[in-house]
Amino acid sequence: LEELAGLQSPEIAFGTDMFAAELPLGVALGRMASANSRLRVRAVLGDFEELSRAVTAGKLEFAIADTTSAERHPTRLAIEPVAEHRVFFFARQGHPLTSGTDLSLATILVFPLVTSRVPQRIAVHFAKSMPHAKVDRDTGDLSPSLMLDSFAVAKAAVLAGDAIGLAPLNAIENELRAGKIALVPFDAPWLHLSYGLFYPRKKSLSRAAQLFVTQLRQVETALQVREQRAHPTRPAARVI
């Protein structure tokens, strides 16, 4: 942060997907803005395909998102992993699924799924229990029943009906504490978010972007410690 304070006119233009936006991006940016009031940031929300096009076209310097899809472009994109977070199905309090135990994926996915575009690594499992699932032939990504890039809208849809959502634990902890939503009892080793940043392989990040990534990793480490203390038997995150 001391180095950031010395930069004359730092600017960052980046993209993020819905899940990564719910992780510590805001905290990292808030610390940086406090260190240098001249900082200018433009952040856009989108899925991987939209973000990768913007990054390769030079419209964004980098993007922070689930990097599963970025691995399909090893010659175009450089990838820097940041952390892994487990994601959980959640529903409104009183939803029929919240009173069950050891539910199967097929039982859960009878209900409408509201989330962003599901990456291939997770989609391959979902599709087995969703006979009418819409899977992209080129990427293997899955389009859920209600595909939204705004987590606030997705959460509102879950609270208003029988749809189920998908999110990292820290994105829904306030609603969990308030008793508005509940976790759906399901766990699988493949149900996690591997997020990081990606940028054009032939370009290096600006110093402001590098400092942002440093702050992001520091905040992520603190978040991991806090989640482990709150849920000692539920390792919800892992810094990479």
pLDDT in tens, 92-121: 999 999 988 889 999 999 999 999 989 888
Q: Output the DSSP codes for 35-47.
A: H-TT-EEEEEE--
Highest mean pLDDT (candidates 17-31, 69-83, 143-157)? 143-157
Nearest to 108 by CA among 59, 49, 162, 66: 162
What letter would DSSP give residue 72? Answer: G
Q: Is 93 in a helix, a strand, or coil? A: coil
pTM: 0.82
Q: Output the DSSP codes for 118-135.
A: BPHHHHHHHGGG-TT-EE
Whether the Cβ atoms of residue 64 and residue 82 lie closer than 8 Å to each other:
yes
Q: Where are the alpha helices (DSSP H) in the chain?
A: 2-5, 18-21, 25-35, 48-56, 105-108, 120-126, 151-160, 169-178, 207-230
Q: What is the pLDDT at residue 3?
A: 64
Residues 6 or more apart whose CB falls under 8 angstroms from that of 113 comprise 126, 144, 145, 146, 163, 164, 165, 166
With 60 as the cut, is the pLDDT of residue 182 above it?
A: yes
Mean pLDDT of 150-170: 93
Q: Which residue(s) pair with 166 in the sheet? A: 89
Higher local confidence (pLDDT), 198 or 235 = 198
Higher local confidence (pLDDT), 126 or 228 = 126
Q: What is the pLDDT at residue 108?
A: 95
Mean pLDDT of 150-178: 92
Mean pLDDT of 14-39: 85
Higher local confidence (pLDDT), 182 or 236 = 182
Between the alpha carbon of residue 173 and those of residues 13, 68, 90, 176, 180, the distances in Å are 29, 25, 11, 5, 10
Mean pLDDT of 154-176: 93
